[in-house]
Structure 1
Amino acid sequence: METPRIVVLVRADCRTCDRMEGVVREIGARVGEEHVVVDVDAADTDSEWRAEYGDRIPVTLVDGVEIGSWRIEPDDLVRALTGGDVP
């Protein structure tokens, strides 16, 4: 199975993370893209992600590029996914 284009990096018990993931879930459903949620503190998480993004969690990546940290604007995510204007 391919990794979805959208990755949301989170920490356990993080309300800000929950809010960001909710926005990503909503926009992903609207444009037909799935996402994965990765806890940066989990033992099996890539340590490079923890080192790079650990102090800015939550972070949303699209195709490996950071689109938002701490919060994400829905229109920014749509543009990142569609490469154009927000419908």
Structure 2
Amino acid sequence: MPSAPDPDRAPDPRVTLIGKPGCHLCDDARAVITAVTAELGETFVERSVLDEPDLMARYAEEIPVTLVDGRQHDFWRVDADRLRAALGRPRA
């Protein structure tokens, strides 16, 4: 039988930013994601292709990559309005 949700546990972040240190496009994407998630009361997590070989193999030429609810949403640039719209939908 599944357990009841823990009200004290924060939900998993809906947004993931995949990038790497020193990437100016990643810095730009982070600024947009930070602003939009803060505005909507969401959180995000960052993952680096330098730390995870599977991410490097998959996304090396597309970073920064934004995932929403585990699905690829954008790469290279993040559009704030598009991200807001995606986060306005319930989790999949």
Greater Cα radius of gyration, structure 1 or 2: 2
Identity fraction in percent: 33
Unaligned runs of 5+ in 2: 1-8
Task: Tell me which residue corresponds to 2:81.
Answer: 75
RMSD: 1.7
Alignment of 1:14-29 (within 5 A): 14-29=23-38
After TM superposition, the runs of 4+ consecutive aligned structure 1 residues lying more than 6 A away are none
TM normalised by structure 1 equals: 0.83
AA partner of residue 68 (structure 1)? D
Cα distance in 1 for partners of 2:22, 2:88 equals 31
How many residues align? The count is: 81
TM normalised by structure 2 equals: 0.79
Higher helix share: 1
CA-CA distance at 1:73 after TM superposition:
0.7
